[in-house]
Amino acid sequence: MSDTIPAIETNKSIQMDYVKVERIRFLYRGAMTAVNVNIGILILTLWLLWGQVEHDNLLIWAAAILVVTAFRAVSAYNFKHKSADIDDIQTWYWLFLCLSTTAGFTWGISIWIFSPYENIVTPVLLVFVLGGLTAGAAAVLGAVLTVYFSYVLAIMLPAAIWFFLQPIQNYFIMAIMLFVYIFTMMIAGYLYRKILIHSITLSKDLIEEKNRAEVANRAKTEFLSSMSHEFRTPLNAIIGFAQLLEMDAESPLNKHQRESVDFIENSGKHLLSLVDEVIDLAKIEAGKINITLENVLLSSIVEECLPIVQTLAFKQQIKINIDDQAIKQYVLRADHIKLKQVIINLLNNAIKYNYQGGSVGVSCRKIKENYLRIEISDSGKGIPEEKKKLLFLPFERLGYEKSNIQGTGLGLILTKRIIDAMDGRVGYASKQGNGSLFWVELPLVTE
């Protein structure tokens, strides 16, 4: 159960004993609380003993307590402002040990200072005060056993010896009880120390894992950013050559060749879209998303989005119904480009996962807290109940991976991250066979 603090190397290149350093820091973090508790208990003790013992002895003892307490407060203050330099941690340890032991002894000798007593009530009252201080100190001083053990012995041993030396049997029994209490408190301190060390170690491991994850995430983002040009250049070349082959009037393609070139072009565009969305997601996860909030007219956003999705809607024979009266009257506080990306994502999904000849609706309504809810509904198949929990996971396409519906599984998670960054909310309602309703809520401009 020994808990001596070995000398800590001052060489910066040598790794510090993290757990022991944190335990000493823990002592000083709790020092001001101990100071306040000591002052409070001192005031209570003065009130209880004022009519029981000589006033001169009581005031001298109280002054000694206050002096030691002041030194403890000053040392805690200094440590707080100098603890960045951990080279002197051993010195701080010895300082704390000396001051806490002195404080404990100053409390402990009170039973001798106020002796003799007219009855057993006063010394027993003092023992209860000392026992309370000992038990309460375990929560802080238990971090380092040498500190706690010396405090326990300094505060309780004088009282136990005093009772042991009294020629009265009841006092002797009290002395035995105090020795048992001292031993019990030491065991409690030892157990508390084990729990604290486990907590500090676990905290350290979690911090290290978090740091490693952040480093890996930054490396991933940097890799994707640096490789984006390498991906885009050949893909754009492939798409460009495919388009040139389609437009070659001198050597027109036959039906089979045109189908092959169309497949190459569509696959290239799909892969380019996937690359763009992966890079966007990586930037958002790395906190590198650029949001520029401005006043945005919702009707202008919808008007810009419609031409982009009309071709896909025409192929699917999907009718897009816009609630013009509702949309034209609202101005949002949002990023124009990012909101446009969100609306296009939701409209594309509503069209792609719809029935041939179905419909898509775009409407909005004001909700509480000065937010506007933009709703995009479809008459599609809806989302099965068991698939809903997967909806906002990256690369999750809810069973459509092997269908002829193109997609990356990143549209919804990008939508959610973008809306979150604009202080908004994303939600949905869907029932299998009855279509889906996706909505985003964004702040309204109220001026």
| Highest-pLDDT range among 13-17, 220-224, 391-395 | 391-395
The pair of three-digit structure tokens given for residue 62, joined into one six-digit string:
């109280």
The C-alpha atoms of residue 199 and residue 189 are separated, in whole angstroms, by 15
Does residue 86 surpass a pLDDT of 70?
Answer: no
What's the maximum distance between 2 C-alpha atoms anywhere in the chain? Answer: 124
Q: How many CA atoms lie within 13 A of 131 on its CB side?
A: 17
* Residue pLDDT, tens place only, 150-193: 999 999 999 999 989 988 878 888 889 999 999 998 888 888 88
The pair of three-digit structure tokens given for residue 31, joined into one six-digit string:
């020092």
CATH homologous superfamily of 294-443 equals Histidine kinase-like ATPase, C-terminal domain (3.30.565.10)
pLDDT of residue 274: 67
pLDDT of residue 345: 86
pLDDT of residue 5: 42
Rg (CA), the chain: 37
Q: Which residue has the higher pLDDT, 268 or 27?
A: 27
Indicate the domain borders of the chain.
18-213, 232-285, 294-443
pLDDT of residue 3: 47
CB 443 within 8 Å of CB 423: yes
Does residue 105 surpass a pLDDT of 90?
Answer: yes
pLDDT of residue 98: 93
> CA angle at residue 444 from 441 to 447, to 5 degrees?
175
* Residue pLDDT, tens place only, 370-410: 889 999 999 888 888 888 887 777 767 666 666 666 666 67
Does residue 416 surpass a pLDDT of 80?
Answer: yes
- 226 band by pLDDT with thresholds 50, 70 and 90: low
Does residue 67 surpass a pLDDT of 90?
Answer: yes
- Under DSSP, is residue 318 helix (H, G, I), strand (E, B) or coil? coil
Q: How distant, in Å, are the alpha carbons of 11, 34, 39, 205, 277 from that of 75? A: 25, 13, 16, 30, 55
* Residue pLDDT, tens place only, 342-357: 898 899 888 888 888 8
- What's the mean per-residue pLDDT of the chain? 81
Query: 373, exposed or middle or buried, with CB in 10 Å at 0-12, 13-18, 19+?
Result: middle
pLDDT of residue 224: 64
- 4 band by pLDDT with thresholds 50, 70 and 90: very low
